[in-house]
Amino acid sequence: MSQQYIAAIDQGTTSSRCILFDRDGRIVSVDQREHQQIFPRPGWVEHDPEEIWTNVETVVQESLRKGDITPEQIAAIGITNQRETTVIWDKETGRPVHNAIVWQDTRTDQLIRELGGDEGQDRFRSVCGLPLATYFAGPKIRWLLDNVDGLRERAERGEVLFGTMDTWVIWKLTGRHVTDVSNAGRTMLMNLATLEWDQSVLEAMDIPATILPEIRSSAEIYGQSRGPLSGVPVASALGDQHAALFGQTCFDPGDLKGTYGTGTFLVMNTGTEPVTSEHGLLTTLGYKIGDEAAVYALEGSIAVTGALVQWLRDKLGLISTAPEVETLALTVEDNGGCYIVPAFSGLFAPHWRSDARGVMTGLTGYVNKGHIARAALEATAWQTREVVDAMNADSHMDLTTLKVDGGMTADNLLMQILSDVLDTEVVRPMVAETTCLGAAYAAGLAIGYWPDMDTLRANWHKAAEWAPDMEPAKREREYHNWKKAVDRTFDWIEHED
């Protein structure tokens, strides 16, 4: 029998890719395609679902070609995806009724305030673990129903389907309308205890249940693929941050991973019981493997980290490629008194302030572009510190090690700053593509390609680590200044009654 592989499709915020993994969890082949970022108005962010699907088909075929691998050698397909991004399409034609509304989009801000009413952003938190925020998919569905001509009527007649991007990709692959618990948990519509759509929340948001996919576990066979991988089982779905948690083998309560990309997402395994956050974090569904008990997590979502480096490159022209930010930051010894809080579309955890907007503060004539580059890297670290402090308080466990992954972890200076700011060890694994790896692991478990989680743990290997090297007094002084900068971002957007 020829060598078998697992294919992981990662439908991300800026690109789609397919990575093929072998039994040791090593990358055999990869292909990636970017898609257009559509900005119809300030604060609005959209994607073209059909462009994304075309790219998914391309990366699957190209990953096979690059690896000289035949479709018959693919044992299963795993899906991981940008979460909360919302698409509704015609059940018969398969054509989207509107561009997908991306997780970063803030157009539902007014609707969020209306839904909160006298109870505020915690109105549904006891049911779904989430605060009312523009981030989540439920309000985006409501916006589409209210603003696309005739869509509400079509939804009530059962003519259209909703999905986050996992559902869209699975539907295109198999014709099945399903999602997994990790993605369903990011809609604000799933009951965290029952793992089913919550009728009371659906009624409050005025969303018909007929358009929603069936909720399934994160690791089971949803259907057989069509197209280039015809007959291959589609056997896992995990939202990208949940997939990274799984790929980092954070299988024990207290295990924490941070994924550093466009935004940064810190997720802590809290075991089989949900932990209610008192410090601005999200209580979320970590993953559910087949018939096993669901595993819950605390999550701190940071909207802008890698996107700040892209902004320095694309909008300010301080650098020509993203990796140059490290070189530029190394031309100075510190931030020169400059702090950047990149609240481009408000602040996520632990603040949840949609009225915030970005600031660059502490400027003097001394500050140069090297200081600005360093302040941009430090912004990622200080935002991480705020989330980790909240996690320690909620979980009653002190962080000892942060497992990191994502594109920004190639920046060694950033990793050292992160260790200094957190006063803890930072570890990067051999396979940094842990989002795809987690989706592959879940699919492999579903079909018996890997026998158990201990086998997955044995695949994890450390590639690099950083230890803190900052005086405590300096750490706390800089944190104090960072908090002052954050305070300056609040109340920038004033809402009229």
Q: What is the DSSP letter of 42?
A: T
% of the chain residues with pLDDT over 70: 99
- Rounded to a whole number of angstroms, the CA Rg of the chain reads 22
Assigned token pair, 363: 């400027």
For residue 495, pLDDT over 60 is answered with: yes
d(CA 427, CA 162): 38
- For the stretch 250-307, pLDDT in tens is 998 889 999 998 889 999 999 998 998 889 898 999 999 999 999 999 999 898 999 9
Q: What angle do CA 200, 106, 97 make, to 5 degrees?
A: 75
Do 420 and 377 contact (CB within 8 A), yes or no? no
For residue 40, pLDDT over 90 is answered with: yes
- For the stretch 152-173, pLDDT in tens is 999 999 999 999 999 999 999 9
How large is the average pLDDT for residues 49-61?
A: 96
How large is the average pLDDT for residues 341-368?
A: 93
pLDDT at residue number 438: 95
Do 257 and 299 contact (CB within 8 A), yes or no? no
What is the maximum alpha-carbon separation in the chain? 69
Q: What angle do CA 358, 360, 361 make, to 5 degrees?
A: 125
Kind and range of the H or E element at 141? helix 137-147
- For the stretch 356-393, pLDDT in tens is 999 999 999 999 999 999 999 999 999 999 999 999 99
Assigned token pair, 264: 């940064």
- For the stretch 207-241, pLDDT in tens is 999 999 999 999 999 999 998 899 999 999 999 99
> In this predicted model, which residue has the larger pLDDT, 329 or 460?
329
For residue 496, pLDDT over 50 is answered with: no
Q: Is the torsion defined by CA of 238, 243, 247, 248 positive or negative? A: negative
For residue 1, pLDDT over 90 is answered with: no
Per the prediction, the chain carries an average pLDDT of 94
Do 350 and 280 contact (CB within 8 A), yes or no? yes
Provide φ and ψ at 176, rounded to 5°. -90, 140
Which amino acid type is present at position 196?
E
Assigned token pair, 331: 């031309």
How large is the average pLDDT for residues 185-189?
A: 96
- For the stretch 389-440, pLDDT in tens is 999 999 888 888 999 998 899 999 999 999 999 999 999 998 878 999 999 9
How large is the average pLDDT for residues 77-100?
A: 96
Q: Distance from CA of residue 408 to its chain's centroid?
A: 14
Q: How confident is the model at residue 444 (pLDDT cuts 50, 70, 90)?
A: very high
How large is the average pLDDT for residues 239-245?
A: 94
d(CA 268, CA 253): 7
Strand, coil or helix: 78: strand
How large is the average pLDDT for residues 124-147?
A: 93
For residue 475, pLDDT over 80 is answered with: yes
How large is the average pLDDT for residues 15-44?
A: 93
